[in-house]
Chain A
Amino acid sequence: MPREDVKKLLRTKFMPHIWCPGCGHGIIMHAILRALADLQIPKEKICISSGIGCSSRMPGYIDACTLHTAHGRSLAFATGVKLANPELTIVNVMGDGDGTAIGGNHFIHACRRNIGITAVVMNNNIYGMTGGQASPTTPEGAFAATAPYGAIDPTFDICKLAEGAGATYVARATVAQPAMCEQILKKAIQHQKKGFAVVELVTFCHTQFGRKNKRSRPMDNFNYLKDNSVMKAKADTMTAEELKGKIIIGEFVNIEDAREYTERYDEIIARAQKA
């Protein structure tokens, strides 16, 4: 059962939720809510934004200022919200397809701008809502509704992409480590004062990905994530061969003295008003 302070963040009148029984998304939502509750951010100062897809239905279930935008565009909407009201704490949730395919441009530029938004990529390696089509993170060789002979497209490493594009906090965990998800999210939300944080939370879709790839039960996926996660410190000692198929979890970037975009914009205002 969720904690009382977490329950208060739920918008139960919008439930039941649309996620399949056993879906990993609930673990992520719970981790986000625990992090927000621990940080004691008033709910009218929280904005949860999202794009389109299963993961992006999350804002509806949270009793805050919630913004379900268009496919791929959530970070661009959230950029406008944050600029208009920098006091808001923005957690922007999106899927792997939503965030890195159709929304890829907004993703890299939000990283570059270093605007104070926490972007959570709920990576289940598939387009779940539309019926299991291949996404930019569908592993090579995996089967999907649009990859009936196996995927040949190389995948994105979302954390490396974020780091390369300039995000000032980047971390990854999987839903098989719920406590770690919460811990990372808490840091990533606090990082909003310094800039753009990317948290890749690897989850699963047993319904659309699992049943085509011999992991049709939720626990098959849960165990798969557990067995294949490697802490960054350990991964640093392993060879590329040993790391094949592994999911490296931990913190990759944490720039403490980064300067957040809306704060920098305030300097522009000061400069313009002096001129």
Chain B
Amino acid sequence: MAQVEFWQGNKAIAMGAIAAGCRFFGGYPITPSTEIMEVMSEELPRLGGKFVQMEDEIGGIAATIGASIAGLKAMTGSSGPGISLKQELLGYAYIAEIPMVLADVQRGGPSTGLPTKVSQADVMQAKWGTHGDHATIAYAPSSIQECYEITVKAFNMAERFRQPVLVMADEVVGHMREKIVIPEPGSFEIVNRKKPTVCPDEFVPYKADDDDIPPMAAFGDGYRWHVTGLTSNDWGFPTNEADEIDKKANRIIRKVDRCRDEIVEFKQESMEDAEIMVVSYGSVSRSALRAIRELRLEGVKVGHFRPITLWPFPDKEIAEIAKRVKHIIVPELNAGQMVGEVIKAAAGKCEVHARNLINGELYKPDQIMSFIKEVA
């Protein structure tokens, strides 16, 4: 008998993390993501894992990175201003190649903004928030089931590529409660980071395999190595040599880019004969799907495209569709972030319409229906 629960999105994220093998959480309270750390504080010690409430947001991600270096699958979570505060150390985890998952339950901003209101304002922050170049992997769940399953996947990606992966829920998805069927343990894939196979004295900590990913030791497991946020050579030693900088800077992007097709995820509905496509993600996609299903009954040729990975963005796929539809409508709970990527992908092949809501409310299906009717 499958276990069926009625859970909140934030709880599903926490339980998904635990199912993925997460055994450390470092965080700081912030609305609307706090329930993730509350669940973690209860569940982790039961499994011998560790939870720590740190003194601030930066401390939360710092402890998370530290725990990952010492060998645990580790996670932190936050929202709004907390995500802004974590950006520097997110960059640290990218350059030092430390696996971790950041759950970002998005709320309105800028600054303290709208702590209890929904938003999709972090799409670009996820990609460009920390300084310097890196590859981003970010998922946008739209249901409680997905909160769980995507968090498992996020850990798998973090462990595989040795970098942070973001689970970008929004306030509605994080706080909404609905049915979830808990996947049986063993019924889904679990990925663990590659360990070094050489003896400690031969270990070169940042020497990558053919896949551009170096095996990772853990502090305390017999290997001695250096971790730094400075751009470093294969020994992890800071470098100012152009060729060594070039090698490292490009490798940490390439290791993800080369697997782009494998990582990118999206879901389409009613797209076979569609002349109008709505592109939406997260909580908005729920209203959009309702709108589309109703209009289909009226004979409107409209379909839906939902990016599940916000990054890497499904640009190639949208570029293909743009050749055959007349209009793309992009409703977002921000002043227009992902729509820029859609415009780039569509490259003038069809009309792209941005529709934006930044009043803290969620789009209702009839609002999206009227956007579709405007262009139909």
- Pairwise interchain contact B55-A65, C-beta atoms closer than 8 A: no
User: Are A44 and B223 in contact (CB-based, < 8 A)?
Assistant: yes
A49 CB contacts on chain B under 8 angstroms: 66
Q: Give chain A interface residues in 98-151, CB to chain B under 8 Å.
A: 105-106, 108-109
Q: A80-B52, A81-B67, A109-B55 are in contact. Are A44 and B226 (CB under 8 A)?
A: no
Max count, chain B CB within 10 A of own CB: residue among A59, A81, A84, A88: A84
Is B71 interfacial (CB 8 A cutoff)?
A: yes
Residues of chain B contacted by A273 (CB below 8 angstroms): 45-46, 48
Q: Is the CB of B238 within 8 A of A60?
A: yes
B49-87, CB under 8 A of A: which get 1 and which 0?
010101110110011111111111010000000000000
A76→B54 CA distance, assembly (Å)? 8
Q: By the criterion CB–CB under 8 Å, are A79 and B50 in contact? A: no
A81 to B230, CA, bound (A): 20
B351 at the interface (CB under 8 A from A): no
Any B CB within 8 A of the CB of A216: no
Q: Smallest CB-CB separation from B72: which chain A residue?
A: A84
A87 CB–B CB distance under 8 Å: yes
Q: Across the A-B interface, how many residue pairs have beta carbons closer than 8 Å?
A: 143
Q: Smallest Cβ distance from B29 to chain A, in angstroms?
A: 15
Q: How far is the CA of A44 from the CA of B222 in the complex (A)?
A: 5
- The B interface is mostly helix, strand or loop, or mixed, namely mixed
A63 at the interface (CB under 8 A from B): yes
The residue that B63 contacts in the complex, of A45, A80, A85, A87, with Cβ under 8 A, is A80
Instruction: Tell me if B348 counts as interface (CB < 8 A to partner A).
Output: no
Smallest CB separation, B205 vs chain A (Å): 10
A194 beta carbon closer than 8 Å to chain B: no
- Cβ-closest chain B residue relative to A109: B55
- Do A85 and B58 touch (CB < 8 A)? no
Report which of A68, A69, A73, A80 forms a contact with B74, defined as CB distance below 8 A: A80
A13 at the interface (CB under 8 A from B): yes
A-contact bits for B217-246, CB 8 A (1 contact / 0 none) = 011111111111110000101100000000
Q: Within 8 Å of chain A (Cβ to Cβ): is B26?
A: yes
Report the nearest A residue to B66, measured CB to CB: A80
**Interface 1/0 per residue, A1-22 and B, CB below 8 Å:** 0000000000101100000000
Asked if B55 and A60 sit within 8 Å, CB to CB, the answer is no
Separation in Å of the A46 CB from the closest CB of chain B? 8
CA gap between A65 and B236 in the complex, in Å: 12
User: Chain B nearest CB: distance from A5 CB in Å?
Assistant: 16
- In the assembled complex, A66 has its CB within 8 A of some CB on chain B: yes
Q: Are B66 and A77 in contact (CB under 8 A)?
A: yes
| B74-102 at interface with A (beta carbon < 8 Å) | 74, 88-89, 92
Q: How far is the CB of B80 from chain A (nearest CB, A)?
A: 20
CB of B200 closer than 8 Å to a CB of A: yes
Q: Does A272 make an interface contact (CB < 8 A)?
A: yes
Contact of B220 with A106 in the complex, beta carbons under 8 Å: no
Q: Choose one: A70, A85, A271; the contact of B70 (CB below 8 Å).
A: A85
- On whether the beta carbons of B54 and A79 are closer than 8 Å, the reply is yes
* CB of B155 closer than 8 Å to a CB of A: no
B141 → chain A closest CB, angstroms: 26
B149 to chain A, nearest CB (A): 26
**Beta-carbon contacts under 8 Å, B177-224 to A:** 200, 218-224
- For residue A83, CB closer than 8 A to chain B, the reply is yes
Q: Which residue of B lies closest to A46 (CB)?
A: B224
Chain A residue with minimal CB distance to B43? A272
Give A contacts to B, CB under 8 Å: 11, 13-14, 43-45, 47, 49, 59-60, 63-70, 73, 76-85, 87-88, 105-106, 108-109, 265, 268-269, 271-273, 275
A-B contact pairs, 18 of them (CB 8 A): A44-B200, A44-B221, A49-B66, A66-B227, A68-B229, A69-B62, A70-B89, A73-B59, A77-B63, A77-B69, A79-B52, A80-B68, A83-B24, A83-B66, A88-B219, A88-B220, A105-B55, A269-B48
Sort A-B residue pairs by CB-CB distance and give the 10 closest, nearest first: A80-B66, A80-B63, A76-B62, A84-B70, A272-B45, A109-B55, A80-B67, A84-B67, A77-B66, A65-B219
